[in-house]
Amino acid sequence: MIANIKDSKLEFKLVQDVTASWVQGKLEQMRRMMKEEKSYQEVVIDMEDVEVIDSIGISLIIGLYKSSCKLSKDFKVVGLNGRIKSLFEMMRLDQVFSVER
Amino acid sequence: MKLQFVGYSCFDEVNRIIDELMSSIPQDIKRKYEDAFFCIVVALRELLNNAVEHGNKMDAEKKIICEFSLEGNILSLVVIDQGQGFHITEVLDKVVQTCHDRERFRGISMVTSLGFFIEVVGNQVIAKLDMTKL
């Protein structure tokens, strides 16, 4: 995972499969960065390099979305491949936050 | 075709079992059902994660067993853990009672949303899919 602030956006670029074996401990780490950084208005999760996600990975994304709401920051997920985007839509997550290819 | 894999109860083993399964399936079958295999891997990962987390309670000394079979167009995934089993209706009821942004109780409902029929017998979860309906 690579974190970067640019143009008032805190971007988390996920560069590996977002599955249970990777996710453990990441939510707290990412939440801490969101709280410590002040100079951003939007959280962007870039999933361009993600080929596989599971429900525990989806829980991580939802956890980050909820943290963004608490911090009054905008939130979106970008770079989803077609299959993962369909999975998000199947679970109606596109009705919860912005989901882009 | 019938394949069986056994692993210790941890998430790294889930990855290993799925990698071994995918490399064991003949290329012509993977090509024939290319889109379906994305759903199959998603579903299998959920069942195995459930076995590790909820069935075996993250006890890495326990085992998980995965059986994959394809007979005609019917795909069957069987995942066995060393836990107490669960009631499928209770799990799905929790899903109905929660909203789309819930952080948990998503795995089994994902599998059913992908088109699988799930049956739970003791500590065995059996998920069946008619490949022609994907």
pLDDT in tens, A29-88: 999 999 999 899 999 999 999 999 999 999 999 999 999 999 999 999 999 999 999 999
- With CB atoms and an 8 Å threshold, state whether B15 touches A21: yes
- With CB atoms and an 8 Å threshold, state whether A21 touches B42: no
CB A37, CB A5: distance < 8 Å: yes
Q: What is the pLDDT of residue A16?
A: 93
- With CB atoms and an 8 Å threshold, state whether A24 touches B11: yes
Spatial separation of the C-alpha atoms in residues A5 and A78, rounded to whole Å: 16
Q: What is the pLDDT of residue B82?
A: 97
Other beta carbons within 10 Å of A38 = 7
Considering only alpha carbons, which residue of chain B is nearest residue A91?
A: B100
CATH number of A89's domain: 3.30.750.24
Considering only alpha carbons, which residue of chain B is nearest residue A27?
A: B103
User: Is B102 in the A-facing interface, judged by CB distances under 8 Å?
Assistant: yes
User: B111: domain range?
Assistant: 2-133
- Which chain A residues in 3-62 lie under 8 Å from chain B, judged by CB atoms? 19-21, 24, 52, 54-56, 58-59, 62
Separation in Å, CA of B15 to nearest CA in chain A: 8
Reading phi first (left if > 0) and then psi (alpha if -120 to 50, else beta), residue A82 is in alpha
Tokens of A34: 């969101």
Q: What is the pLDDT of residue B33?
A: 87
Separation in Å, CA of A9 to nearest CA in chain B: 23
Q: What is the pLDDT of residue B104?
A: 65
CATH number of B27's domain: 3.30.565.10
Q: What is the pLDDT of residue B103?
A: 63
Mean pLDDT of B10-31: 95
Total domains, chain B: 1
Nearest residue to B127 (alpha-carbon basis) of B25, B56, B47 = B47
ipTM entry:
0.88
The chain-wide mean pLDDT, for chain B, equals: 90
| Per-residue DSSP letter, B82 | S
**Given a cut of 90, is residue B16 above it in pLDDT?**
yes
Total domains, chain A: 1
Q: How far is CA A61 from CA A73, B15, B20, in A?
A: 15, 20, 28
Mean pLDDT of B72-101: 82
Mean pLDDT of B1-28: 96
**Given a cut of 80, is residue B100 above it in pLDDT?**
no
Confidence of residue B134 (pLDDT cuts 50, 70, 90): confident
Please name the residue ranges forming H helices in A1-101.
20-23, 26-36, 55-70, 82-90
User: A80: domain range?
Assistant: 2-99
Contact list in B for residue A77 (CB cut-off 8 A) is none
**Given a cut of 80, is residue B93 above it in pLDDT?**
no
Please name the residue ranges forming H helices in B51-129.
88-97, 107-113
Nearest to B103 among A19, A59, A91 (CB): A59
Other beta carbons within 10 Å of A91 = 20
In DSSP terms, which residues pair with B79 in a beta bridge? B66, B125
User: Residues 6 or more apart from A77 whose CB is under 8 A from it?
Assistant: A44, A45, A47, A61, A88, A97, A98, A99, A100
